[in-house]
Structure 1
Amino acid sequence: MHLLPFRRTRLLSLTLAAVVPMLLPAASAFASSHREAPFITTQPKVDGTDFYMFNSYENGRSAYVTLIANYQPLQDPYGGPNYFKMDPNALYEIHIDNNGDAREDLTFQFRFQNNFKGITLPIGSQNVAIPLTQAGQVSAPNAPALNVNEKFTVNVIRGNRRTGQSAAITRFGSGSASFDKPSDNIGTKTIPNYAAYAGQHIYSVNIPGCATPGRVFVGQRQEGFAVNLGTIFDLINAPLSTITNPALINAAPNMLSTKNITTLALEVSKSCLLSTTTADPVIGGWTSASVRQSQLVNANPPRGHQTTVTYGGAFVQVSRLGMPLVNEVIIGLPDKDRFNSSMPSGDGQFASYVTNPTLPRLVEIAYNLPAGGAAPTNLPRNDLVIAFLTGITGINRPANVTPSEMLRLNTSIPAVPFAQQNRLGIVGNILAGGSDNAGYPNGRRPKDDVVDISLVVAMGGLCMANGNNNAFGFGTECNPSKVPLKATSFNLHDAVDQAVQPFLTGFPYLNTPLPGAQ
């Protein structure tokens, strides 16, 4: 840390004490996008939690992009007997914009079926249905001992997600359009080698309109997101000297390390994601989930029904996720549900939340700090517009762009092996003078510490990076003199290091889920 005169040090300590408790609980109390809006807290099966989009760094897969959409937050491994099956009455979708107009050009649409087998056991003179998901050991897809066979389909839709041309993605070789989803990791007695079992559910696939086969996997994974959850929610119940000391970025336990998540992973050839009419290597991506407009609870459901609810009507979007943390720290409470139901093409209605963010000023008011004592004063915050709405010129900004919120990835920037990736993404790369431009906000990799990066950006870190070497080409609106916390803006962190999380070296990258019992 920089040494400062006493009076300045005192003001900075007060400022940080105010800023960090306010920013971090909102940003991270339920992780990247877990339970981030009022309505979605009631619909955990369709709650999109994290979205990753990156140039594949598995050996031999440099020509591919990996798309990972996570749903169903905060899964306890012991959550039986029904565990965390997906909703067969919902649409789970990954959208790609490859021409910068804020509208989907490709949609990968996942749908699920939970086929109940009705396994029975002879008890006395009767065959009686068992109450569990399994009736014995499981080691293969759709094992005889599984009482519920979870299956899914994936369609690729070109054009509008509801009216465009749709075609089924099929297994390479067999041509089947149906895929098995592995059972959640019930425990080591039921599934002795879960990694090998789950590996049988990684499929090579034919994608209509794409000459190169891809891969797909859907199943439970260990939660890959890291955050100092309990401490942060308790108004940063940690010493200020810890969360401003870069040497202590892993001083606290990751509260999500005991949780699992449900992952929809797709690996697609870069050439199949790019526009056929432009040479632009930048793509945008976001995820969504939609449910039926009408839901009627059956007072007396017939025997054998999988649900007590009858669904009907059009699909209505209830979850949306592109850049992490946007709905948590930028969108105001009255508009959080509206944001989850919106499309990027309509993001103009949320522009003031980005250009004139409220949290830093609320901190100053709450702690009787002068205006500009903590919050960057480069209003409107064009640095945030670049980070969240347009992409960075020369890195991940499309040639023609409609400002809108989504992850943007330059597919022409080579992937960096896991061990060499900078945990602070592009900002960290600039600070270190390295060559890793393949990280957040240029897409997002599992290793990228988006909480710390977002803290740095919110408190003017992009302006500071720009001021150091004009890296981002900002104008005078990003003058470092307008960043009150410039001395320590790069040091802010939540005391949990995303980079030390366990991950796989290849597809589907997220780690084997934790078992319900050892």
Structure 2
Amino acid sequence: MHQRSFRRPALGVAAALAAAACVASLAPTIGTASSHREAPLVAGEPRLDNTDVYAFVSPDAPDSVTMIANWLPFEEPNGGPNFYAFATETAYDINIDNDGDALPDITYRWTFDDNYRNRNTFLYNTGPVTSLDDPDLNYFQTYRLQAITENGTSTLIRSGKVAPSRVGQASMPNYGALADAAVTKLPNGGQTFAGQADDPFFLDLGIFNLLYNGDFSQIGTDTVKGYNVNTLAIQVPKKALALKGDDTRNPVVGIWSTTSRKRVEVVGTKNQRDRSGEFRQVSRLGMPLVNEVVIPVGRKDEFNATQPKNDARFLQFVTNPEVPRLVEQIYKIPAPATPRQDLVETFLTGFCKDCGPVAVDLNSQRLNKDVDVSKFQPSEQLRLNMSIPPAASPNRFGVIGGDNAGFPNGRRLADDVLDVTLRVAEGVLLPNHPAAVDGLGDAVDANNVKFRGAFPYVALPNAIGVNQQ
């Protein structure tokens, strides 16, 4: 397996994009802010709501992979007095499938504890906070990080420190130092981070006004600008993720995040919550925009509780998607013929020459030399080929822009997944698609603030209220 086998088909799509340069980049998108409030249950419990998953070969440490998962959407910076915390008695997981059987071979699990220095004040902090151990930080969280494999569970970090919510300049005069201090080394190489960050996703959410009310001039507003999320990030050597520890023979992995809550909750007379029983999955996210616009509203909570190995029950919504029909109805762009096997490849199998109509070897676990292909199970995952090095000049369109290091081969923070997913949904990977498809987008092309150049890469959380911007 070498890079040339990936490059040729991607460049073909890039040529099509260049030929369509005269098409204005004005058209409806197809989703919400990835998984922001996408299903009825988690919309009411935002601390359980997975918003986005990112996975990429680390640009400044190319022998490693960085995985980022976000929770708790639309955090308004001025959200006191309690601000934003991870839920306790809850499992926040990043799962890795390296053999394609739709079961996690490795799970990184974070669980959190609340800590108060003084319960007789309403303040989050009682003075300026200059370190994670500062006694003026009244409320703080700690976490345990475990690695779960078929060989058992090992504890990587027993009492990690969470970067606090960014209260403001007076309370946290050097928030960057606090965030940096929350980066913790892992025992066998790599590092992790837990804390608040700027929401790295960027898009115009006007889609819910009947797909921009049929008026392309209304697009271009970054709806999540200024909001924060809670972030978990982990950077590990490639061999830690690869099947049999061999990232040369087996470079492809599938990644998704989940949130699981204790099964039983009892509310006490003072409104305290006592939870018991085993963990039950309540939220899930791999590829962006699947639960939001592929799964119908009556099945969204079910999808969130479902394991990838059971994704066949949702196949009909991938092969016969609703969005292209709506786009055709409102914008008169013909919907591709169904069943959509190109979307099965995009969302459920990854791309390989034996996987479907898009005949390119890119990011299916079937490409791993030690995989038993007979046990391969189509399932919704964010798939990454770790053998493709970081791009010297990343293209926000990823693979369809000729950059195989980008989405849907994993997902980098700056990848424009809204534009890419819309074009794929409208048939950009199929021959003889309408020329208008090559110019579709929401006119929000980048995050409003720059990402950091080193781990955990996400930008520092916003401190200015959204209503003040």
TM-score range, shorter chain: 0.7 to 0.9
Structure 1 letter corresponding to 2:385: N
C-alpha deviation, 1:167, in angstroms: 0.6
Q: Does 1:147 align with 2:147?
A: no
Larger C-alpha radius of gyration, 1 or 2?
A: 1
Which residue number corresponds to residue 343 of structure 1?
Answer: 307
1:202 corresponds to 2:183: yes
Q: Deviations over 1:374-428 (max 9, x none)?
A: 2101x210110111111112111122332110000001100124xx111011011
Tell me if structure 2 keeps the 8 A contact 1:79–1:516: no
- 1:404 aligns to 2:374 (yes or no): no
Contact kept in structure 2, 1:447 and 1:501, CA below 8 Å? no
Distance in 1 (alpha carbons) for counterparts of 2:365 and 2:270 = 54
1:123 paired residue number? none
* 2:101 corresponding residue in structure 1: 101
- What residue number does 1:122 align with? none
Instruction: Give every structure 1 segment of 4 or more consecutive aligned residues whose post-TM-superposition deviation is greater than 4 Å.
Output: 1-4, 236-243, 366-369
Q: 2:258 maps to what in 1?
A: 288
Residue 167 (str. 1) matches residue 148 (str. 2): no
Cα distance 1:167–1:252, how it changes in 2: closer, same or farther (>3 A)?
same
The separation in 1 between residues aligned to 2:45 and 2:182, in whole angstroms, is 27
- TM-score, scaled to structure 1: 0.78
Cα distance, 1:224 vs structure 2: 0.7
1:30-429 to 2 correspondences below 5 Å: 31-58=33-60, 61-118=61-118, 129-159=120-150, 165-170=152-157, 177-206=158-187, 212-229=188-205, 231-237=206-212, 240=215, 242=217, 252-276=220-244, 279-301=249-271, 308-362=272-326, 364=328, 374-377=334-337, 379-393=338-352, 394-399=361-366, 400=373, 401-417=376-392, 420-429=393-402
Whole-Å Cα distance in 1 between the matches of residues 201 and 307 of structure 2? 25
Tell whether the 8 Å contact from 1:242 to 1:495 is kept in structure 2 after alignment.
no
3-state SS, counterpart of residue 461 of structure 1: coil
| Distance across 1 between alignment mates of 2:220 and 2:100 | 40
How far residue 501 of structure 1 moved from its aligned partner, in angstroms, is 4.4
Question: 1: distance between equivalents of 2:41 and 2:382?
Answer: 23
Residue 264 of structure 2 aligns to a residue whose secondary structure is: strand
* Percent identity of equivalent pairs: 38
Give the conservation status (yes or no) of the 8 Å contact 1:426–1:442.
yes
Pair 82,443 (structure 1): closer, same or farther in 2 beyond 3 Å: same
Deviations 1:287-327 (A, max 9, x none): 000111111222325xxxxxx21112221101000000001
Query: 2: distance between equivalents of 1:413 and 1:38?
Result: 38
2:41 aligned partner, one-letter code? F
Structure 1 residue 439 and structure 2 residue 406: aligned?
A: yes
**Count of aligned positions:** 430
Q: In structure 2, give the amino acid aligned to 1:408.
A: R
CA displacement at 1:130 relative to structure 2: 1.2
Task: Identify if the C-alpha distance between structure 1 residues 444 and 363 changes in structure 2 by more than 3 Å, giving closer, same or farther.
Answer: closer
> Which whole-Å CA distance do the structure 2 matches of 1:2 and 1:36 have between them?
34
Q: Which amino acid aligns with 2:202?
A: A
CA distance in structure 2 between the partners assigned to 1:39 and 1:199 by the alignment? 34
Kindly indicate whether the alpha-carbon contact (under 8 Å) linking 1:82 and 1:133 is maintained by their aligned counterparts in 2: yes
Uncovered stretches (5+) of structure 2, i.e. residues with no partner: 1-16, 353-360, 367-372
Distance 1:3 1:290 in 2: 47
Cα distance 1:500–1:423, how it changes in 2: closer, same or farther (>3 A)?
Answer: farther
Q: What amino acid does structure 2 have at the position aligned with 1:441?
A: P
Once the two structures are TM-superposed, the CA of residue 253 in structure 1 deviates from its matched residue by: 3.2
User: Which segment is superposed worse, 289-298 or 439-448?
Assistant: 289-298
User: Counterpart of 1:462 in 2: which secondary structure?
Assistant: coil
Q: Would you say the 8 A contact 2:350–2:363 is kept in 1?
A: yes
The separation in 1 between residues aligned to 2:245 and 2:458, in whole angstroms, is 34
Distance 2:245 2:452 in 1: 36
Deviations 1:337-372 (A, max 9, x none): 1110011111111111111113323555x5697xxx
Tell me, which stretches of 5 or more residues in structure 1 are unaligned? 5-11, 120-128, 171-176, 207-211, 244-250, 302-307, 430-435, 468-479
With over 3 angstroms needed to count, the CA separation of the structure-2 counterparts of 1:239 and 1:38, relative to structure 1, is closer
Aligned to 2:5: none
Q: Distance in 2 between matches of 1:241 and 1:49?
A: 26
**Which string of whole-angstrom CA distances, capped at 9 and with x for unpartnered residues, describes residues 207-245 of structure 1?**
xxxxx411001000011111112x3333354885658xx
Q: Distance in 2 between matches of 1:109 and 1:389?
A: 24
Bigger shift: 393-402 or 34-43?
A: 393-402
Partner of 2:11: none
Query: 1:34 touches 1:73 (CA, 8 Å); kept in 2?
Result: yes
Matched AA of 1:75? E
Over aligned residue pairs, what C-alpha RMSD do you find?
2.6
Q: Secondary structure, in 3 states, of the residue corresponding to 1:422?
A: coil
**TM norm structure 2:** 0.86
For 1:265, the aligned partner's letter is A
User: Retained in 1: the 8 A contact 2:54–2:67?
Assistant: yes
Letter of the aligned partner of 2:87 in structure 1? Answer: D
Q: Is residue 106–residue 156 contact of structure 1 (8 Å, CA) maintained in 2?
A: yes
In structure 2, how many angstroms separate the alpha carbons of the residues matched to 1:197 and 1:39?
33
Asked if the contact 2:94–2:258 (Cα under 8 Å) also holds between the matched residues in 1, the reply is: yes
Take 2:448 and 2:399, find their aligned partners in 1: how far apart are those partners? 18
**What amino acid does structure 2 have at the position aligned with 1:384?**
L
